[in-house]
């Protein structure tokens, strides 16, 4: 098995597809009509102070967190350019394992769809502990496992896509940071306040949206012919009123006060 250089892969992926995560999740709908980003920041309504949006991408949470003191950080110049073009800032280009911030200067960290791919994860979490003040909050959003049978049509569509790609599931360098995120954070000295799973739905009305969903997957090592086959298969399934389930997990944590 070929070892994936995830840092290089992600740099190339987001350099060619800036804003793709927002284009997918920004039109996903939860049980109460909320987007995944609105669900992510909901626990922060009363949280004061400086906010670090870790691996912010195109910075979709900035539109939801209008407070002063917000800072978006990402290693991708293309993603930050997309965020800046949308008027979202301030922004800084940096790596998550070497945060350019003083100790204990951040009150809140938002981490949307990134902890499953940031490496080395133990160093990233150590950096977050360093910059968060005692008692500071982190809210993380990560992919979750297969949704319940209430979404059977969409689940079967995902199964067919995975078969076309000849993989059993999407690849991540930190699979333990998905449904095992809460115990992982406890192990890294965060206090878990809540751990919730919710299934969002994304309408796949046409071939363009089907292509977007496949392009939104991390597929290192998958042959281009298999990717083309998956796009064709999902495009043939797509039509107005058909939805793919997107199961997500939100974990709310804080650092001990002392």
Domain boundaries, the chain: 6-146+172-205+247-254
Q: State the Rg of the chain over Cα.
A: 18
For residue 149, is pLDDT > 70?
no
Return the bridge partners of 51, or none. Answer: 70, 108
Dihedral angle sign, alpha carbons of residues 32, 38, 39, 42: negative
Give the pLDDT of residue 164. Answer: 94
Give whole-number Cα distances, 248 to 101, 199, 225, in Å.
Answer: 29, 6, 29
For the chain, give the percent of residues with pLDDT over 90. Answer: 87
The conformational region for residue 133 under phi > 0 = left, psi -120 to 50 = alpha, else beta, is beta
Residue 39: its pLDDT value, please?
Answer: 98
Which residues, other chains included, contact 6 with Cβ-Cβ below 8 Å and sequence gap of 6+? 117, 119, 173, 220
pLDDT at 2 (0 to 100)? 60
pLDDT digits (tens, 9 = 90+) for 11-22: 999 999 999 999
Confidence of residue 147 (pLDDT cuts 50, 70, 90): low
| Per-residue pLDDT band at 175 (split at 50, 70, 90) | very high
| Span 160-175, average pLDDT | 91
Question: Which of 91-95, 101-105, 107-111, 153-157 is predicted least confidently?
Answer: 153-157
- Whole-angstrom Cα distance, residue 86 to residue 75? 18
200 forms beta bridges with: 246
- Helix/strand/coil for 128: helix
> Is the distance from CB of 86 to CB of 147 less than 8 angstroms?
no
CATH topology of domain 6-146+172-205+247-254: Rossmann fold (3.40.50)
- Round the average pLDDT of the chain to a whole number and report it: 94
Helix (H) or strand (E) holding 197: strand 191-203
With beta carbons less than 8 A apart as the criterion, state whether 140 and 251 touch: yes
pLDDT score of 1 more than 60: no
């Amino acid at each position: 098995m070929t070892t994936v250089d995830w840092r290089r892969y992600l740099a190339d992926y987001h350099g060619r597809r800036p804003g793709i995560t927002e284009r997918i999740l920004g039109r996903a709908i939860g049980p109460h009509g909320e987007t995944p980003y609105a669900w992510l920041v909901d626990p922060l309504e009363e949280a004061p102070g400086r906010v670090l949006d870790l691996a912010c991408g195109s910075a979709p949470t900035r539109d939801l967190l209008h407070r002063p003191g917000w800072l978006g950080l990402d290693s991708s110049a293309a993603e930050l350019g997309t965020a800046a073009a949308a008027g979202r800032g301030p922004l800084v280009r940096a790596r998550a394992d070497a945060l350019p911030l003083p100790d204990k200067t951040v009150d809140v960290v938002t981490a949307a769809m990134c902890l499953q791919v940031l490496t080395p994860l133990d160093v990233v979490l150590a950096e977050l502990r360093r910059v968060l003040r005692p008692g500071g909050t982190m809210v993380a959003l990560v992919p979750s496992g297969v949704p319940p049978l209430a979404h059977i049509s969409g689940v079967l569509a995902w199964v067919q896509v995975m078969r076309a790609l000849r993989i059993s599931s999407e690849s991540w360098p930190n699979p333990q940071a998905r449904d095992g995120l809460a115990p992982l954070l406890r192990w890294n000295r965060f206090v878990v306040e809540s751990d919730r799973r919710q299934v969002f739905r994304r309408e796949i009305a046409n071939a363009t949206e089907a292509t977007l969903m496949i392009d939104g997957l991390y597929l290192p090592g998958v042959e281009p012919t298999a990717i083309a086959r998956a796009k064709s298969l999902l495009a043939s399934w797509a039509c107005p009123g058909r939805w793919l389930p997107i199961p997500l997990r939100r974990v709310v944590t804080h650092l001990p006060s002392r």
